Amino acid sequence: MFEFDELRLGVLSDGVLAVERAEKSRLIAAIVAGDTQLYRQLIRPYQRSVYFMSLSYMKDEKDAEDVAQEAFLRAFRSLRTFRGDSKFSTWLIKIALNEARKRLRRRATVRIVPLEDLQSEKMPVSGALLKDWRDLPSDVVECAEIRRLLWHAVEMLPHYLPAGFSTPRGRRTQCK
Residues 140/125, Cβ–Cβ less than 8 Å: yes
| Residue 27: C-alpha distances to residues 37, 97, 111, 120, 131 (Å) | 11, 24, 43, 62, 50
- Residue 163 confidence (pLDDT) above 90: no
- Residue 77 confidence (pLDDT) above 80: yes
Of residues 23 and 48, which shows the higher confidence score? 48
Q: How far apart are CA 115 and CA 43, in angstroms?
A: 44
- Residue 60 confidence (pLDDT) above 70: yes
- Residue 43 confidence (pLDDT) above 60: yes
Mean pLDDT (the chain) is: 76
Q: What is 6-109's CATH number, 1.10.1740.10, 2.40.50.100, 3.40.1160.10, 3.50.50.60?
A: 1.10.1740.10
Q: How far apart are CA 130 and CA 30, in angstroms?
A: 52
The dihedral formed by the CA atoms of 19, 20, 25 and 27, expressed in degrees to the nearest 10: 120
**Residue 139 neighbours by CB distance under 10 Å:** 11
Model confidence pTM above 0.85 = no
Residue 51: which pLDDT band, with cuts at 50, 70 and 90?
Answer: very high
**What pLDDT, in 10s, does the model give residues 99-112?**
999 999 888 765 55
Average pLDDT over residues 69-92: 92
Residue 48: which pLDDT band, with cuts at 50, 70 and 90?
Answer: very high
**Residue 72 neighbours by CB distance under 10 Å:** 21
Sequence ranges of the chain with CATH classification 1.10.1740.10: 6-109
**What pLDDT, in 10s, does the model give residues 99-145?**
999 999 888 765 555 555 545 555 555 555 445 555 666 777 787 88
| Residue 156: C-alpha distances to residues 121, 152, 162, 166, 171 (Å) | 21, 7, 13, 13, 12
pLDDT of 23: 85
Question: For residue 91, how far is the Cα from the chain centroid?
Answer: 21
**What pLDDT, in 10s, does the model give residues 9-21?**
444 455 666 777 7
